Amino acid sequence: MNVNLSRKVEYGWDFPSDGTTPLRRTAMIHSDGVTVTDAYNTGMDDNLSRLSGQKQGTTWLYQEQYLGLSRMVQRQYGATGVYWTVLNSSGAYTGFDRFNQIYELKVTDFTTTRKYYQHTYNYIPRCFCG
């Protein structure tokens, strides 16, 4: 096996210096030299070490929005305008059922809904996605 031809991924890490943030990944360097940077927006995302998105250079590959500490409610894919969301047009989180499970999920680009999913769950709770 030729080691120079094998694919590999290297990772960049941010080591805590002040004791307030944990060890977290900051970058992925692919074997072809492309670097993808993990972004942590200032404020809540940075304090929680919660990934805000990933960039390649200055271009966003995707960005995420959260409800509360960990519930992701929207992901936008770069400048394409394509995103998936549990938000309705007025900004309310209508995509969750009373047990906080995803009930409705939309994939849109700009203003057009491309895919619309409704999920139902049984008592176990297993998802019957449709």
Query: What order do you get walking across the sheet with 71-77 strand by strand?
Result: 9-14, 24-30, 35-39, 53-56, 59-67, 71-77, 82-85, 104-109, 112-121, 127-129
Residue extents of the structural domains in the chain: 1-57, 63-130
State the pLDDT at residue 34: 92
Burial of residue 53, with CB atoms counted within 10 A of its CB: 0-12 exposed, 13-18 middle, 19 or more buried: buried
Q: What is the pLDDT of residues 60-89, one digit of tens each?
A: 999 998 888 788 888 889 888 888 887 766
Q: What does pTM read for this prediction?
A: 0.73
Between 96 and 40, the higher pLDDT residue: 40
Residue 28: alpha-carbon gap to chain centroid: 16
More reliable by pLDDT, 57 or 127: 57
Quote the pLDDT of residue 125: 57
Give residue 129's pLDDT band: very low, low, confident or very high (50, 70, 90): low
The tens digit of pLDDT for each residue in 6-38 reads: 788 999 998 877 777 788 999 999 988 899 999
Query: For residues 57 and 120, what is the distance between their CA atoms, to the nearest angstrom?
Result: 40
